[in-house]
Amino acid sequence: MLEVFPATAKITDDGHLTIGGCNAIEIAEQHGTPVIVFDRATFEKRAESYAAVLGPRQVFYAGKSFCCVAVCELLDRLGLSLDVCTGGELATALRASFPADRIAFHGNNKSISELEMAKEAGVGRIVVDSFEELERIAKVGLTTRLLVRITPGVEAHTHEFVQTGQEDSKFGFGLADGVAFEAVKRAMAVPGCTLVGLHAHIGSQIFEMAAFDLAVRRLAAFANDIRKELGFVAEELNLGGGLGIAHTDDEITPDIEESVQRISSAVQREFEALSLAIPRLYCEPGRSIVGPAAVTLYRAGTVKQIPGVRTYVSVDGGMSDNIRPALYDARYEAFVADRMNAKQGPRVTLSGKHCESGDVLIRDVHLPADICEGDLIVVPATGAYTYSMANNYNRVARPPVVMVHEGRSTVIVERETNDDLLKLDRRLDGSKPG
């Protein structure tokens, strides 16, 4: 049962959940609910697993999965690098004094002002996504390393992958139509910048490692073409993120070190086969580092039983703090934090508090039969793409993020207040209300 929980999770003799040495019930009493509980040790351990294979500098944590000042500080201490894809993520990293040289800037539509920000900060790498962007980079006068983002025609999500012929994606430059070749040619010519290599990100929640093998094969073939025809030797190969994690008991989280080792061997094999210099391998994991590091605690409220149909257990959060189930049918497990060993009752639907029938966190989940108002419900594996996608639908304030470590809990993102929600509002005459 604890496989989907942070590595430090334990169940006490009386059936209480503890994480990072802190009792979930006490965390909820101290910080309120809903609350995202972030286990520092799990985050560090998983980040270190990547670093153990590639070296810390070659691991660019994907800030989009969960980015805040404290996380940037942790990454810096671990010596990792950071991938940002907006001015907001960059501003967060800079506020944390994260070294700009270890930042790679992503995004399919970086604005001039974002590129200016990157220039001023001294961002170490820009991952180029379009021809327009190459022109914007030249216009802004950035002098940095460039990577060209390739769409290799391999799309991988969950347990399957497909070879996509026409590379239907808003991201990057396609291989099949020769656009990638042209992009490399133009990137080599951007004044003041140095093209250092290629980038590809083939999807998310990947369990099927063969997808990476195929992507590497295609990228090696492309690297061979550009070496022969343009004389460009790719020193760096960034294979993005995407490694999956288990959200439910029927999934198994792949071992990070084994998976990265396998990708690294594929790079060696494919480049050697073409007598190419082996590029330095970089990656951009998000979910596989932070996903298992957090759980969300909710307080159960209304329990609506519709005999012969279903039981709805509504909690005090929902699609504003975790939109993944509504957005792409993401699945989770749920437990009651002070009855972790209780016998599971019939399936119920765990729903949120928003005015939307689709505001469902888990459609059919077993919870103890005596589930009732006031119970503390824990949903594990909520570290990635939950807080970072959190929103204020129905003017619901976003929850805090509380870091637990060695028996202590520390707020690393405060709970939003109604004043925070109102701070941008203005009256009809443009004046500040209140």
Ligand X SMILES: Cc1ncc(COP(=O)(O)O)c(C=O)c1O
Cβ-in-10-Å burial (0-12, 13-18, 19+) of 38 comes to buried
How far, in Å, CA of 169 to CA of 243, rounded? 20
How far, in Å, CA of 70 to CA of 68, rounded? 6
Please select the residue that binds ligand X; options are 286, 292, 317, 352, rule is CB under 6 A: 286
242 near ligand X, judged by CB under 6 A? yes
Question: Which C-beta is closer to ligand X: that of 153 or that of 285?
Answer: 285
Residues 39/293, Cβ–Cβ less than 8 Å? yes
Please select the residue that binds ligand X; options are 174, 285, 325, 399, rule is CB under 6 A: 285
Neighbouring C-beta atoms of residue 328, cutoff 10 Å:
11
Q: Could you tell me the sign of the dihedral formed by the alpha carbons of 64, 65, 68, 74, in that order?
A: negative
Of 68, 193, 283, 355, the catalytic one is: 355
Q: Which of residues 73-92 bind ligand X (CB under 6 A)?
A: 83
| Residue 313, CA atoms < 13 Å, CB-side half-sphere | 30
In the complex, minimum distance from the CB of residue 247 to ligand X, in angstroms, rounded to a whole number: 13
Question: Which C-beta is closer to ligand X: that of 336 or that of 384?
Answer: 384
Question: Which C-beta is closer to ligand X: that of 12 or that of 109?
Answer: 109
Q: What tokens were used for 64?
A: 């989009």
Answer yes or no: 68 catalytic: no
DSSP string, 27-91: HHHHH-SSEEEEEHHHHHHHHHHHHHHH-GGGBEEEGGGS--HHHHHHHHHHT-EEEE-SHHHHH
For the chain, how long is the longest CA-to-CA vector? 71
In the complex, minimum distance from the CB of residue 110 to ligand X, in angstroms, rounded to a whole number: 13
288 near ligand X, judged by CB under 6 A? yes
Angle between helix 40-54 and helix 256-273 axes, rounded to 10 deg: 20
58 near ligand X, judged by CB under 6 A? no
292 near ligand X, judged by CB under 6 A? no
- How many residues bind to ligand X according to rule CB under 6 A? 17
Contact letters (x/-) for ligand X, 377-406, by CB under 6 A?
Answer: -------x----------------------
Q: Which of residues 87-126 bind ligand X (CB under 6 A)?
A: 106
Question: Which C-beta is closer to ligand X: that of 286 or that of 380?
Answer: 286
Closest residue (Cβ) to ligand X? 241
Nearest to 217 by CA among 292, 144, 159, 272: 272
Strand intervals (E) in 236-355? 236-238, 280-282, 294-306, 310-315, 335-336, 344-351
Question: Which C-beta is closer to ligand X: that of 58 or that of 204?
Answer: 204
284 near ligand X, judged by CB under 6 A? yes
Please select the residue that binds ligand X; options are 6, 87, 241, 318, rule is CB under 6 A: 241
Please select the residue that binds ligand X; options are 36, 37, 47, 62, rule is CB under 6 A: 62
Question: Which C-beta is closer to ligand X: that of 205 or that of 409?
Answer: 205
Show Cβ contacts of residue 164 under 8 Å, excluding neighbours closer than 6 positions: 153, 154, 155
How far, in Å, CA of 388 to CA of 392, rounded? 12
Question: Which C-beta is closer to ligand X: that of 64 or that of 324?
Answer: 64
63 near ligand X, judged by CB under 6 A? no
Q: Which of residues 166-225 bind ligand X (CB under 6 A)?
A: 201, 204
Q: Look-up: residue for tokens 């039981």?
A: 311
Q: Which region among 2-10, 250-258, 278-286, 292-300 touches ligand X (by CB under 6 A)? A: 278-286
In the complex, minimum distance from the CB of residue 98 to ligand X, in angstroms, rounded to a whole number: 17
Residues 59/283, Cβ–Cβ less than 8 Å? yes
Residues interacting with ligand X, by CB under 6 A? 62, 64-65, 83, 106, 201, 204, 240-243, 284-288, 384
Q: Catalytic amino acids?
A: 355
